[in-house]
Amino acid sequence: MITSPSTLRRSERSRRATLDAALELCTEKGYGRVTVEAIAARAGVSKKTIYRWWPSKGAVLLEAFTEALVGATPFGDTGDIAADLRTHINGAVRLMSTAPYGPAYAGILSEMHHDDDLATAVRDQLVGPRVELAVARLRAAQEQGQIPAAADLPLAVEMLYGPVYYRHVLRKPAQDEETVASLVDHVLRSLGAGAVGPPAPRDGIS
């Protein structure tokens, strides 16, 4: 007997179709010309369905961008904080330099200045959680002795992300891997980390 898909599966398909449609339209038309009506038509869902899950097109694109960013920028722990930060920042730079994600996020950052609800969502759903994870990774390095105990970790996160956002918002050329490596080394030195790299072997064991 053939059974019909569950409501949960239908909802997930609709959600994924909506996110994909929003990203496609952002690439084709630009953020400013994307509408909820167009997203609904492309995704094959009703406007009512979209508004049941998201309050605006900005919220749709924010969810799509956040999912992509989380996948592209893991907070790995290889034991080498400099290498892990380079991997992380390079992932963010690549994503923000690639359509549709870069243009979509630029549109979100612009619109949030006129949409308080979207601004709150950006802070709560994207920026806040990512900052917490970044601080946690730096704290782990601190506990391993790679970063001094007195280092201001939240400030370090702003120093790492600041140049990435600066270039993205002003549409300047994105950092290459060499520039990212220089940024990471500069931030770690400013924390008093000295020579960056993995912690020294303990008890003569390599």
Angle, vertex CA 163, rays to CA 142 and CA 151, nearest 5: 20
* Cα 195 off chain centre by: 28
**Can you say how many angstroms the Cα of residue 168 is from the centroid of all Cα atoms in its chain?**
13
pLDDT (tens, 9 = 90+) of the chain, 206 residues, equals 343 344 445 589 999 999 999 999 999 999 999 999 999 999 999 999 999 999 999 999 999 999 999 999 999 999 999 999 999 999 999 999 999 999 999 999 999 999 999 999 999 999 999 999 999 999 999 999 999 999 999 999 999 999 999 999 999 999 999 999 999 999 999 998 754 444 444 444 43
DSSP string for residues in 115-183? -HHHHHHIIIIIIHHHHHHHHHHHHHHHHTTSS-TT--HHHHHHHHHHHHHHHHHTTPPPP-HHHHHHH
Are 61 and 115 in contact by the 8 Å Cβ rule? The answer is: no
